[in-house]
Amino acid sequence: MSEQGLTNEKVLENITAVFGEAISDAHEPYGLLTVTTTRDQIITLLTHLYNDAELKMNFLTTMCGIHYPENKGQELGVIYHVHSLVHNVRLRIKIFFPIEDPVVPTATKLYATANWMEREAFDFYGIQFEGHPNLIRILNVEDMTYHPMRKEYPLEDGTREDKVDVFFGR
Amino acid sequence: MVDSPEGVEGQGFFATSLEKVVGIARSNSLWPLPFATSCCGIEFMATMGSHYDIARFGSERPSFSPRQADLLMVMGTIAKKMAPIVKQVYEQMSEPRWVLAMGACACSGGIFDTYSVLQGIDRIIPVDVYIPGCPPRPEQVLDGLMQVQELAKNESLRRRNSPEYQELLASYNIK
């Protein structure tokens, strides 16, 4: 992929050498290296990727929340995509944690761009980013009382009337 | 040219009811406020353009200030976050005012049966004419406008003071 020859194998080798057991479930769907780590390690990992002279992964492409209700004890997650602009190599990092304790350290101290993305993840999934300077809703109405992308809530609007059918339901 | 209303005509005078004259004047100079949020707004632009030419119906001046507008044309999906703004624009308009909901989204929420979208603007403001379609063609928009003209022409001058009308506004919690 890259002219300097930074491959997925080298990236994985590099981070496994530093973080060892904390890196798990490495695979490459569609050639995009994906690893899972823990929320205790995530900021250290991002900082390492940012500062490492070989990797130079210093661009947070995107981050978002996710909800898998069937994964008991690991229901909620946050996914980070970091990119090395020098090598044109991308890495996807996932962390998962229980829905009862949705607290994740903030990445805003490393990436200013994480500010709004963390607000979005908070808005839709109720993930609390510890240390975030301004963790309020970003897209939904301010007086909304729940986090709508969590799968315990219906996607449809409950006040819709024209689709109600006495025989077939909605 | 607009046909003159029924009345008594003689040499040098014409007598008719004030209500008819005011109705004709209002219906042929409806200044629309285009509140266009999505693809219906594009269709409205075609309606405003020279080919369909909404100006033929006395609406050549889209009023981007609600205070000088007679007709609020809500065209497109209204997110719940946008709802208070639509309501505020409606409240800023002076009487008499009409509302036209264009397209499936403004009428009922359309395909956006979801937590973030208002399921029809009649949840927040009273609507006079609904135009179905996704998006409606310019001909339909013109037909909707002519329906509003018809309402304006035949509306009693006292309607806006009637208890029914006050009740209607009160049911939407509009002062």
Average pLDDT, chain B: 91
CB A93 within 8 A of CB A45: yes
Instruction: Quote the strand ranges of chain A, DSSP E.
Output: 24-27, 33-37, 59-67, 76-84, 89-97, 103-105, 128-130
Question: How many angstroms separate the CA atoms of A77 and A38, rounded?
Answer: 10
CB A102 within 8 A of CB A125: yes
Contact A155 B115 (CB under 8 A): yes
What torsion, rounded to 10 degrees, do the Cα atoms A98, A101, A107, A108 define?
A: 150
- Nearest beta carbon to residue A140 from set B113, B116, B119: B116
Residues in chain B closer than 8 A to A140 (CB atoms): 80-81, 116
Contact B109 A160 (CB under 8 A): yes
Tokens of A26: 């490495």
Query: What kind and span of H or E run contains B171?
Result: helix B163-171
pLDDT tens string B60-72: 888 889 999 999 9
Radius of gyration of chain A (CA): 19
* Angle subtended by helix axes A8-19 and A42-51, to nearest 10: 130
- Tell me the mean pLDDT in the region A46-55: 91
Q: Give the ipTM.
A: 0.73
Band (pLDDT 50/70/90 cuts) for residue A169 is: low
Interface residues of chain B, partner chain A, Cβ below 8 Å: 80-81, 108-109, 113-117, 119, 123
Query: Is residue A160 predicted with pLDDT exceeding 90?
Result: no
Pinpoint the alpha helices (H) of chain A.
8-19, 42-51, 114-125
- Tell me the mean pLDDT in the region B89-107: 92
> What does the buried/exposed string (b/e) look like for A138-158 if buried means 16 or more CB atoms within 10 Å of the residue's CB?
bebeeeeeebbbbeeeeeebe
Q: What's the full length of chain A, in residues? A: 170
pLDDT at B174: 86
- Tell me the mean pLDDT in the region A3-19: 85
SS3 B35: strand
Percent of chain A with pLDDT over 90: 63
pLDDT at B6: 87
- Tell me the mean pLDDT in the region A5-20: 88
